[in-house]
Structure 1
Amino acid sequence: MRVPTTLIVIYYPLHSMDPRSFADETSESRLYVGNLDLRITEAALIKMFSPYGKIISEDFLWHTRGPKRGEPRGFAFIQYSTKEEAILAKEKMHGRLACGRPLMVRLASEKYLEEAAAQNSSKAGCNTIKSGTTSTISGQVSRSAKIAAIKNKLKALDEERDGAKKPKAS
C-alpha cells in the first residue's frame, strides 16, 4: 500500500536570502553610538536615548579578553522600532556632551557607506594626512593605509640602515 506524501514548497523572495538585505533593513532603525565615556552605564545610555522612541534592543559592547576584560569598549548599538525614531535620535544626540565627551551617533547603515567612500578615496590618494597614513571618513585607519604605513616605515628604516653602513668621507 502506498502512503500519499505531501510536498510543501516554501517560496522565499530572492532578497530575503541575502544576509546583507536583512542587515540593511534592521540597520535603518539601528544607531551606532560612539565616543562613550567609560563611566556611562547601559541604564544611563537607555535613559538618554529613550525620549526619542521605543528602544527594542541595546547592545553595549565590552572587552571580552585581555587586560581590559569586563570594561566597556566605548560604543554601543541602539535599535529603535522605526527608522524615523532612529533618525530623530541621531539628530538630537549627535555631538551632545555626555560626561564631557561629544557623542558620535549615526545610523548603523551609514557605516557601510562611509567605509565604501573611504576605500574609493584612499585608492585615489585623496585623504592622506601629514603622517603619511590614509584615514577614512570616520577617523579610523583603513587596512590598506596601515599596510602602506608599515611599508613606509620599513623603507625609512632600510634607508637609515644603509646610511649608517656607508663610510664617512674624509
Structure 2
Amino acid sequence: MDPKGLDTEKSASRLYVGNLDFRISESDVIKMFSPYGKIVAEDFLLHTRGPKRGEPRGYAFVQYTTKEEAQLAKEKMNGKLVRGRPVAVHLASDKCFLDSGNSERALKDKKLAGGSGSKSAQTDRAAKISAIKNKLKSLENEGSSTKRPKT
C-alpha cells in the first residue's frame, strides 16, 4: 500500500476521463470504456450544490481490473471525438494532465483523484493573491501620479 492508502495496482488502473459533453450519462461512459476491459468501478461526478445540482461536472473516473486494460483504454480513447468534443483520458495517478489548460480545475481534479497537492495549491493561491495586490498597488500609484491637484 502507498502512503495514501491506495494500492498502487489500483491507482495504476484508474483513469481520469475529462472534457465530457454534459449530455453524456454514466451509462454512456461505461459503454464507451467497457470494450477495453473489465470495469470494476466508475465514478461519474455530478454537481452536489448550487443551481447545477445533479447535473454532470464533465468528467469521471474509470477503474479497470488491470493496468494493461487501463493503458489500452487510454491509448484508444484519449483525443477521440465524443459528441463533438475530444475526450481527455489520463491515468488518474499521472501528474502530466495538471499542466494542461485550467490549472485550478486540474488541481481540483488531482485532489479528487487522490493526490495531495494542498501545499502547492496554497503556494499557488498565495502567489496569485500577491500578484493581484501588486497590480492594484501599481494601478493606484499610476492613478495618483496622473491626477491633478484640485484648484
Q: Which TM bucket (shorter chain)?
A: 0.7 to 0.9
Separation in 1 of the partners of 2:13 and 2:135?
47
- What residue ranges of structure 2 are gaps of 5+ in the alignment? 108-120
Counterpart of 1:163 (choices 139, 142, 150) is 142
Separation in 1 of the partners of 2:63 and 2:55?
22
Confirm or deny: 8 A CA contact 1:24 1:109 kept in the other structure. no
Residue-by-residue CA offset, 1:58-77 (whole Å, 9 max, x unaligned)? 11001101121111111101
Q: Which residue of 2 aligns with 1:128?
A: none
Separation in 2 of the partners of 1:151 and 1:99?
41
CA radius of gyration, larger in: 1
- What residue ranges of structure 1 are gaps of 5+ in the alignment? 1-15, 116-135
CA root-mean-square deviation: 2.1
Higher mean C-alpha displacement, 151-160 vs 92-101: 151-160
Query: Does residue 1:20 correspond to 2:4, yes or no?
Result: yes
Query: Does residue 1:151 correspond to 2:114, yes or no?
Result: no
| Higher RCO (CA < 8 A, seq sep 6+) | 2
Structure 2 counterparts to residues 55-134 of structure 1, below 5 A: 55-111=39-95, 114=96
User: Secondary structure in 2 aligned to 1:76?
Assistant: strand
Q: Which residue of 1 aligns with 2:13?
A: 29
Which runs of structure 1 show a deviation greater than 6 angstroms over 4 or more consecutive aligned residues? Answer: none
User: Secondary structure in 1 aligned to 2:17?
Assistant: strand
Separation in 2 of the partners of 1:79 and 1:61?
14
